[in-house]
Structures are given as C-alpha cells and as structure tokens.
Amino acid sequence: MTEPDHPERKRRSLYGRRKGPKLSERQSGLRQTLLRDLAFTPNADPWAQFPNSVKELWLEVGFGAGEHLFALAEQCLAEQRSDVGLIGAEPYEMGVAKLLGKLSEKPLNNVRLFEGDGGEIIAGLPDASLSRFFLLFPDPWPKTRHHKRRFLQMEMLDQLARVLKPGAELRFATDDKSYLPYALERLCAHPKFQWMATGPGDWKTRPAGWPPTRYESKAIKGPPVYLAFRACDN
C-alpha cells in the first residue's frame, strides 16, 4: 500500500494531455480488450504480470506512439531474450491506442502497458528491480517557470536510484537545448549514476540496438543527443 505521507511516495502532478483526437471504433475496442489483457498495475508484483518467467524488467516512460518500445520488444524476442519484461507508461490515450494497433497486428507477450503517469509505476516498484530505464524525448517544458514540470527531477532520480539494480542502464534522449544541460547537471551530480560516454560519438549518434522514436525523426529543436548512464552499486 502507498503511504500517503511518505516523502518518497509523495504524489507528483502529471503534466501534459491525456485526451486528443477522438479514437476510432477499432481503437476504442482495443482499449476495452487488448489494453485490459496487457495492463500493468503499479504497486503489484511486477514480475508476476508477465506470462513468461521474467528475470529482467525494463521500463519506458512516455513511449508516445510506442515505436521504440515495440521495436525493443521485437528485438528481445528475436535475440531469444524472452526473460525480459518490458513495461511502458504513457498517459496520452491516442499514443496508447497507436501502440495497441501495432500489438493487435503483431502480438508480443513481453510487453505490459500503463495508461498513466510513469512516476506512479516507479514509486510502486520494489528496490533494485529494474534493469533498464528509458526516457526518450520527454516533454521539454522550455520556459524556466515550467522546468519543475520536467519528468527528470532530482527527486525522480532518487526514486530511480532506488529501483534500478546496480549495473542497470538509464537512457535519456532529447533534442531540446535547455533540457540537455538540465538533465546532465542532475544526472552527473547524482552519486548513483555514471555517464558511460567516452567521446562525442557516444552522444551524437544513436547507439546500436537503440531503436528510433517518432519525435526523434522530427528533431524539431536541434540534433538529438543520446545519454546512457550506468547505475552504480552504492
């Protein structure tokens, strides 16, 4: 049970939209059927929510229309890694509907979805339970007075430090010039995270095995930057 007064479990606000264009009949139908089958429930045993015996949990927060999550799930199965369970969080109804559309055409049993705030999942995960965490092209909230709405806050990094296993990987990407120093400053200051880059090629080019996303292909604000951090054992 969530303790309402526990500082680590303090409820954060979810910024951004849930509703967009009206869903088609087929999309609404998939939300009633497929989303129920694939639903991830925060605060419940995460491993027990997959049909296979899962050894590693990977979480993507803000998957948009799910291109990256879907490609990773396919990649894991192609590499005989059915012991990886992928969890995706996205509050935007149309984004979830788009991913459900893809999953209805090609069912992948290693994916579970939560239509809501990724912070809720993180708050409910056991200590040292995640092997990978992805935050790709998060909403930039460029105005200084809105920076507090950004997903990557020091408090969130403390939460991630709790749930990531030693040796786990955190991947972050942005095309926003002000989110980049904001994220780097926080990640580099946090004792749990160690930047794995050895040279500019490591952040200017999307690493192999890191599927592209829809926002990345737009790269509206500038060239995308890719950051990979290792969670240390501390």
Ligand X SMILES: C[S@@+](CC[C@H](N)C(=O)[O-])C[C@H]1O[C@@H](n2cnc3c(N)ncnc32)[C@H](O)[C@@H]1O
- Given 30, 38, 61, 183, the residue binding ligand X (CB under 6 A): 61
HEC per residue, 78-112: HCCCCCEEEEEECCCHHHHHHHHHHHHHCCCCCEE
- Asked if residue 46 binds ligand X (CB under 6 A), the reply is no
- Given 38, 54, 72, 89, the residue binding ligand X (CB under 6 A): 89
Judged by CB under 6 A, the number of residues near ligand X is: 23
Q: Which two three-digit tokens encode residue 209?
A: 């095995």
The active-site residue, picked from 139, 175, 202, 233, is 139
- Given 42, 46, 85, 95, the residue binding ligand X (CB under 6 A): 95
According to DSSP, residue 16 is labeled S
- Given 118, 159, 160, 175, the residue binding ligand X (CB under 6 A): 118
Distance, CA of 160 to CA of 154 (rounded, Å): 10
**Distances in whole angstroms, Cα of residue 179 to Cα of each of 17, 26, 92, 138, 174:** 20, 37, 21, 9, 7
Decide if 139 is catalytic. yes
- Asked if residue 42 binds ligand X (CB under 6 A), the reply is no
Q: Which residues bind ligand X (CB under 6 A)?
A: 14, 16, 61-64, 89-92, 95, 117-119, 136-139, 151, 213-216
Q: Which residues are designated catalytic?
A: 139
